[in-house]
Amino acid sequence: MNEKSFNCVRVSCSALQHNYTVIKNLAGADVPVMAMVKADAYGHGMVLAARAFARAGCGNFGVAELREAVILREAGIQGAIYVTLGFLPEDIELLFRYDLIPVIYTYETARLLADLAMALGQEIGVHIKIDSGMSRLGLLPDALPAFLVGIAHLPGIRIAGIMSHFPEADISGSASTARGYQIFSEVCREIKSRFGGVCHIANSGAVLNFPASYCDIVRSGIALYGYHPAGRCAGEGQNAVKLVPAMSFVSRVVQVKTLPAGVGVSYGHTYRAEEPITLAVLPVGYEDGFSRLFSNRGQVLIHGRRVPVRGRVCMNMCMVDVTGMEDVRAGDEAVLLGRQGSEVISAEELAEGMASISYEVLCLLGNNNQREYIE
Between CA 375 and CA 373 the distance in angstroms is 7
Residues classed as catalytic: 38, 267
Q: What is the DSSP string of 143-161?
A: GHHHHHHHHHT-TTEEEEE
Counting DSSP H helices and E strands in the chain, the numbers are 12, 20
Distances (CA, A) of 291 to 129, 174, 246: 35, 32, 20
Burial 49-81 (b: 16+ CB within 10 A, else e): bbbbbbebebebbbbbbbebbbbbbeeebebbb
Contact, 151 vs 157, CB < 8 A? yes
> Would the CA dihedral through 225, 227, 230, 231 be positive or negative?
negative
Q: Angle at which helices 175-195 and 144-152 pack, to 10 degrees?
A: 20
Question: How is residue 138 annotated by DSSP?
Answer: S
Contact, 201 vs 133, CB < 8 A? no
Cβ neighbour number for residue 8 with a 10 Å cutoff: 16
Q: Is 7 helix (H, G, I), strand (E, B) or coil?
A: coil
Question: Nearest CA to 5 among 254, 302, 266?
Answer: 254
Determine phi and psi for 179, rounding to 5 degrees: -65, -45
Distances (CA, A) of 338 to 59, 276, 307, 327: 29, 30, 14, 22
Cβ neighbour number for residue 274 with a 10 Å cutoff: 7
Burial 181-199 (b: 16+ CB within 10 A, else e): bebbeebbeebbeeeebbb
CA atoms within 13 A on the CB side of 188: 19
Q: Angle at which helices 66-74 and 46-55 pack, to 10 degrees?
A: 60
